[in-house]
């Protein structure tokens, strides 16, 4: 079965302040590399998310602030790392819309794997605030959507971005039917993600690892700390917060992974999805700031998604 690729040119309307790492060129690098890899893909245009879907995880005041008070020119600073340009809200709505549409297509058995090449990223976005380059938490919204609209009982998000997805964790904290698991750099932005942060139902699994972690230690941490809990949970749908900033060339973080490590974890998660989730995996681009590594890793990841 072909892998679905969701994106939209509106994701380029979120314009970065000059010199910002989360730049438009990231999306172009990802799409160029994925398309050049000659994979068996079907491309889809991401729809705009509906306000009601944003409210599954975000406060109404915050949603209104982003949608109704966009700057007319230049930038509005939302947090020290995150700025809104005139087209940012539209970009973020396409990012959320991509993930929801990918879930819908999957639940309609049109395909079993999807990759959402979108920006801005989402996993730091909190219920009432933008944070860490993120406006709306696309993955968390789609997880709750899959549960509420498609009636799934167990949805898992696995986050292999080098930063901890504090927003997703916060949104999942009280939920028995949503699991969040993360591999991330310890003592690093945003400061959350300690191993003893487990959520109300023990459905949060954090594997913090020190700066300098290589692929061997990272794979071992997945096997020891994440895989057993994930397998016990038996997700009916797997969502990936696919950040590639744990790559050794990434300028923002200090892990030493290469593209083979991202292929390895993709293979593991696809295999688990085949056991428990009818093979369903929706992967969503989060971070990754070295353009060459980001392109290579994304293409290798999408190829691995489509293998089994
Ligand atoms: Zn990151």
* CB of 130 closer than 8 Å to CB of 103: no
Residues 186, 170: Cα–Cα separation, whole Å: 18
Q: How many domains does the chain have?
A: 1
Phi, psi angles (nearest 5°) of residue 99: -70, -40
The distance between the two most distant Cα atoms of the chain, rounded to a whole number of Å, is: 50
CA of 162 to the centre of ligand 1 (A): 5
pTM over 0.85: yes
Residues 61, 129: Cα–Cα separation, whole Å: 10
CA of 235 to the centre of ligand 1 (A): 24
CA of 255 to the centre of ligand 1 (A): 11
Q: Which two tokens stand for residue 246?
A: 């744990």
DSSP E strands in 195-247: the ranges are: 204-209, 237-242
CA of 245 to the centre of ligand 1 (A): 6
CA of 151 to the centre of ligand 1 (A): 30
Please list, residue by residue across 158-180, b when 16 or more beta carbons sit within 10 angstroms of its beta carbon and e when fewer do: bbbbbbbbbbbbbbbbebebbbb
pLDDT tens for 218-264 read 999 999 999 999 999 999 999 999 999 999 999 999 999 999 999 99
**Mean pLDDT, the chain, integer:** 98
Where helices occur in 151-226 by DSSP H, the ranges are: 166-172, 215-221
Average pLDDT over residues 276-294: 98
CA of 119 to the centre of ligand 1 (A): 12
Q: What is the DSSP letter of 225?
A: I
* CB of 88 closer than 8 Å to CB of 255: no
For residue 166, what are the domain limits?
3-305
* CB of 125 closer than 8 Å to CB of 167: yes
* CB of 27 closer than 8 Å to CB of 12: yes
pLDDT tens for 89-148 read 999 999 999 999 999 999 999 999 999 999 999 999 999 999 999 999 999 999 999 999
CA of 79 to the centre of ligand 1 (A): 16
Average pLDDT over residues 167-196: 98
CA of 286 to the centre of ligand 1 (A): 7
Q: Residue 75 burial (CB < 10 Å; 0-12/13-18/19+)?
A: middle
CA of 110 to the centre of ligand 1 (A): 30
Which residue out of 8, 124, 225, 247 is catalytically annotated?
A: 124
Give the CATH number, domain containing residue 238. Answer: 3.40.800.20
Please list, residue by residue across 83-118, b when 16 or more beta carbons sit within 10 angstroms of its beta carbon and e when fewer do: bbbbebbbbbbbbbbbbbbbbbbbbeeebbbbbbbb
Cα radius of gyration (the chain): 17
Residue tagged 């969503």 (tokens): 284
CA of 287 to the centre of ligand 1 (A): 4
pLDDT of 1 reads 81
Q: How far is CA 122 from CA 39, 66, 73, 215, 245, in A?
A: 26, 14, 23, 25, 14
Annotated active-site residue 150? The verdict is no
Residues 156, 3: Cα–Cα separation, whole Å: 20
* CB of 230 closer than 8 Å to CB of 205: yes
pLDDT of 308 reads 77
Contacts of 75 (CB under 8 A, 6+ apart): 15, 17, 83, 84, 85
* CB of 256 closer than 8 Å to CB of 215: yes
Nearest to 143 by CA among 109, 113, 102: 102
Average pLDDT over residues 191-215: 98
In the chain, helix, strand, coil percent, each to 5? 40, 20, 40
Average pLDDT over residues 202-217: 98
pLDDT of 206 reads 98
């Amino acid at each position: 079965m072909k892998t679905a690729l969701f994106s939209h040119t509106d994701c380029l309307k979120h314009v970065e302040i000059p010199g910002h790492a989360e730049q438009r060129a990231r999306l172009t690098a990802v799409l160029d590399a994925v398309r050049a890899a000659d994979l068996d893909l079907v491309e889809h245009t991401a729809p705009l998310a509906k306000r009601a879907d944003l409210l599954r995880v975000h406060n109404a005041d915050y949603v209104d602030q982003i949608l109704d008070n966009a700057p007319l020119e230049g930038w509005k600073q939302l947090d020290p790392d995150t700025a809104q340009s005139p087209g940012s809200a539209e970009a973020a709505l396409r990012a959320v819309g991509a993930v929801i549409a990918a879930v819908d297509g999957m639940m309609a058995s049109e395909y079993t794997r999807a990759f959402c090449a979108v920006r801005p990223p989402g996993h730091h976005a909190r219920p009432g605030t933008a944070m860490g380059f993120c406006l709306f938490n696309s993955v968390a919204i789609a997880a709750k959507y899959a549960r509420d609209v498609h009636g799934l009982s167990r949805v898992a998000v696995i986050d292999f971005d080098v930063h901890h997805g504090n927003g997703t964790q916060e949104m999942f904290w009280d939920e028995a039917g949503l699991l969040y698991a993360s591999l991330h750099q310890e003592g690093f932005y945003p400061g959350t993600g300690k191993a003893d942060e487990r959520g109300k139902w023990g459905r949060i699994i954090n594997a913090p690892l020190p700066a300098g972690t290589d692929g061997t230690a990272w794979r071992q941490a997945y096997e020891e700390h994440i895989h057993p809990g994930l397998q016990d949970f038996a997700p009916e749908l797997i969502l990936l917060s696919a950040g590639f900033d744990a790559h050794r060339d990434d300028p923002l973080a200090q892990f030493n992974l290469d593209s083979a490590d991202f292929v390895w974890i993709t293979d593991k998660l696809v295999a688990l999805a085949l056991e428990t989730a009818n093979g369903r995996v929706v992967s969503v681009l989060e971070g990754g700031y070295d353009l060459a590594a980001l392109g290579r890793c994304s293409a290798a990841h999408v190829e691995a998604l489509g293998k089994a």
